[in-house]
Amino acid sequence: MAFAYKKYWCYCCKEVGHTYANCFLKKSINKKSEHLLSQGALELYKQLLPTEENYVKRRKLVVKIKNILSEEVYLFGSSVNLLGTVTSDVDICVSTPSSELENVFTLSEILQEHNMEIVECVSDAKVPIVKFWDPNLKLVCDVNVNNTIGIYNTQLLRSYVEIDQRIRPLVMIIKHWARQRGLNNAARGTLSSYTWVCIVLNFLQMCDPPILPVLQIPDIPLNNEIDLSVYNDIDSYKGFGKQNQESIGGLLFAFFKCFAYEFDYKSKVISLRQGKFITKREKRWGYWKLCIEEPFDTSRNLGNGINHVSFKRIINEFRRAFRILYKYANLNICCKITYRTPFDDFCDECEQKDGTFFISKKVLKKTQLYLELKSRILGSDNLDLGLINHILG
């Protein structure tokens, strides 16, 4: 006798194998798992905190660069906004009237003359940088010239972090997860650490009741111009989210559930500036897969480097994290380091039927192009997969 196997499909999570009646999305994390998750989160947070020695080394690097260039030098980013770890890069902004220094290759030559080891010159980015290694202080640094908006960004994020004691551990853990899972490199088709922070802070603004307020003045008509205005009386917002008693574990679970299954990626834009989700239609951003509005330069989409392969990968990682937290409440498993290669991204585009992979001609072309380009660039593994997608359409 032959039996027909029926595949169940759930219209809640859009996955095969169960029905809506048994969907795990309808269930919330139980109290025991939430407690274990909160406990694990605080332990991981303590491990991520930088030491006082690390802070001292960063300040020494700023003084050193200031002496080398004889210009004003400012520390910004995770070294200042309270969201850095021991392994975080140092972000430095050089403020100068000299147009000569704005050339990243000129800047790199000066740094090399003073025993800095140049890792990379990124000249074609929206904010050109020189990435270098200080062999004495054992620090990696990204230095830009005259991008002072980064200083304002840093102060804004720090102001948010200081409002509620749950924010710092929550953001640092999600940043750590993104790094471990290979999702925090905008130059290679994912998202920058700064973008991840904006996503988490906006999520906290959207909680019910909200944990974070809006610290900018969202009603000013910007017409895609840069506006640096922020409410002055930040201290009055401390304790803003006390009506929301959610634990760190509960917030982590809710964050991954939100972006794994609930957020409408087709039509919504994440806006920290306005403290809500706005529409792609009003921003005229319908052609981008993932949209995160830059809080000051509202014409800029922080997710503009995401292509369909990296978008799929990010969604899959959100879902993986959510399932692990729901089933095991274990951040060590959730944040396990991944060793993906560009070929893994190619495989994501392949179709599977009855256990057999079907590779399209398009994927084969991308693989061939990758191998050719890799051999030309001295065997480099630092190839931008987004470039291949762009070339082959």
Domain boundaries, the chain: 29-48+164-340, 53-147, 341-393
pLDDT at position 233 over 80 = no
Q: How confident is the model at residue 3 (pLDDT cuts 50, 70, 90)?
A: very low
d(CA 150, CA 155): 9
Sign of the CA dihedral running 63, 132, 177, 305? positive
pLDDT at position 389 over 90 = no
d(CA 160, CA 203): 12
Side-chain half-sphere of 76: how many Cα atoms within 13 Å? Answer: 23
Q: What angle do CA 186, 114, 124 make, to 5 degrees?
A: 25
Q: How confident is the model at residue 347 (pLDDT cuts 50, 70, 90)?
A: low
pTM: 0.81
pLDDT at position 19 over 80 = no
Architecture in CATH for domain 53-147 = 2-Layer Sandwich (3.30)
d(CA 118, CA 120): 6
Summarize pLDDT for 186-204 with one digit per residue, the tens.
877 899 999 999 999 999 9
Which two structure tokens, joined as six digits, stand for 254? 């809710």
d(CA 25, CA 15): 11
The pLDDT of residue 360: 66
The pLDDT of residue 43: 97
Summarize pLDDT for 49-70 with one digit per residue, the tens.
999 999 999 999 999 999 999 9
For residues 198-212, give the mean pLDDT.
97
| Topology (CATH) of 29-48+164-340 | Poly(a)-polymerase, middle domain (1.10.1410)
pLDDT at position 237 over 80 = yes
